[in-house]
């Protein structure tokens, strides 16, 4: 994931980035501090799934992204082109516009990579 963050404008302001399956399995990620990835992944997938159900009940469209701000943090969960989830963590001082631009840039870089052989292993990197 570090190589994917190279050109992202707010990379130095992000607290974490994770790529998840829509079911909550971690495909890769990093964070500045210790983050229990199993909690982050399952709760992120549950959050966007809950919003799906709520909007379906209200006859709204399925969201491409969900943004939550609480406790001095921002959490952006965005569906990627292949329906996986890209999760960005940032301090609340990072604007929605900058956070969204970072997510789009990361997604563009992910889909510009050549496909790799399928692997059942997951990668997790912590940045100190």
pLDDT tens profile 35-45: 888 888 888 88
Rounded Cα distance between 41 and 47, Å, is: 10
Span 66-80, average pLDDT = 91
User: Where in the sequence is the domain holding 77, given as residue range(s)?
Assistant: 3-113
Count the neighbouring beta carbons within 10 Å of the beta carbon of residue 118.
5
Tell me what pLDDT residue 86 has: 92
Confirm whether 120 is domain-assigned. no
The percentage of the chain sitting over the pLDDT mark of 70, rounded to a whole number, equals 78
Token reading at 1: 């994931």
Place of tokens 């912590």: 126
pLDDT tens profile 83-120: 889 999 999 999 999 898 888 888 888 877 665 544 34
Rounded Cα distance between 101 and 58, Å, is: 28
Number of domains present in the structure of the chain: 1
Mention every residue, 6+ apart, whose C-beta is less than 8 A from residue 28: 1, 18, 19, 122, 123, 124, 125
Confirm whether 125 is domain-assigned. no
Tell me what pLDDT residue 6 has: 53
Outline where the chain has alpha helix (H).
Answer: 37-57, 96-112
Confirm whether 32 is domain-assigned. yes
Confirm whether 127 is domain-assigned. no
The pTM for the full model equals 0.77
Confirm whether 121 is domain-assigned. no
Confirm whether 82 is domain-assigned. yes
Span 18-37, average pLDDT = 85
CA-to-CA separations, 69 to 21, 32, 96, 108, 113, in angstroms, rounded: 23, 18, 10, 25, 31
Under the banding of pLDDT at 50, 70 and 90, the label for residue 125 is very low
What CATH number does the domain containing 85 carry?
Answer: 3.30.450.30
């Amino acid at each position: 994931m570090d190589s994917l963050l190279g050109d992202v404008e707010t990379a130095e302001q992000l607290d974490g980035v994770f790529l998840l399956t829509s079911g909550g399995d971690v495909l890769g990620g990093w964070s500045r501090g210790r983050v229990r990835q199993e909690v982050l992944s399952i709760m992120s997938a549950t959050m966007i799934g809950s919003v799906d159900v709520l909007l379906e009940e209200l006859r709204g469209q399925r969201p491409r992204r969900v943004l939550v701000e609480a406790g001095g943090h921002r959490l952006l969960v965005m569906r990627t082109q292949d329906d996986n989830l890209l999760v960005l963590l940032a301090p609340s001082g990072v604007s929605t516009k900058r956070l969204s631009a970072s997510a789009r840039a990361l997604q563009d870089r992910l889909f510009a990579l050549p496909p790799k052989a399928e692997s059942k292993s997951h990668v997790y990197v912590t940045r100190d």
